[in-house]
Amino acid sequence: MATTTPTPADAAAAKADPRAGKYLVFHLGGEEFGIQVQKVREIMGVQEITQVPQTPPHVKGVINLRGKVIPVVDLRLKFTMPAIEYTHRTCIIVMQVAGPRGIMLMGIVVDGVAEVLQVAGTDVEDTPSFGKEVEVPYVLGLAKMKGKVKILLDIDQVMTARELARLDLAAK
């Protein structure tokens, strides 16, 4: 009986890329971003947001979600993109994120939601190096799909632990 020696490609296929899976794709400006579907709790239209004093400009405030107060961050402003007027396509994605005191809910304002995509590990490339001065720990990788590049985000890393602690206190 003949045996075959596994190739490096076989080993790579056996060890699945943890970045593979279902992603909710949304727009910020002309760019498309993806976040893991398992982190998404719901998608809603923009509603009244109560501002919290002395928070950074990207922290829009808090909303009351069925009796639970959750912080809301404008992702466009967090990523230092220019502010725009909210439209009928603007929405809040309610996410479950790992905060300093455990799991917390947080809303992120995006320009619009596009679709849910199944991303294979072979579709994802590592984030290129932008040099020592530019770190992007919140980018899981870049997915090449449908002729476009989608930036896959690690939503737990988008906000720093310090920012999340502040948001957690603001929501109390």
CB neighbour burial string for 101-113, b if at least 16 within 10 angstroms, e if fewer: eeebbbbbbbbeb
CA atoms within 13 A on the CB side of 130: 7
Strand 91-99 relative to strand 102-110, pairing: antiparallel
Let me know if residue 8 belongs to a domain. no
Let me know if residue 133 belongs to a domain. no
Let me know if residue 119 belongs to a domain. yes
Cα dihedral value 160, 17, 118, 75, nearest 10: 10
Number of domains in the chain: 1
What distance in Å separates the CA atoms of residue 166 and residue 170, rounded to the nearest whole number?
A: 6
Strand 68-74 relative to strand 59-65, pairing: antiparallel
How do residues 14-60 score in pLDDT, each as one tens digit? Answer: 356 788 899 999 999 989 999 999 999 999 999 999 998 888 889 99
Higher-pLDDT residue of 125, 129: 125
CATH code of residue 83: 2.40.50.180
This prediction has a pTM of 0.81
Let me know if residue 4 belongs to a domain. no
Let me know if residue 10 belongs to a domain. no
Residue 119 structural domain: 18-127+149-170
Q: Which two tokens stand for residue 75?
A: 């992702």
Let me know if residue 136 belongs to a domain. no
The predicted model gives 142-147 an average pLDDT of 85
Q: Which two tokens stand for residue 115?
A: 């679709």
Let me know if residue 137 belongs to a domain. no
Let me know if residue 155 belongs to a domain. yes
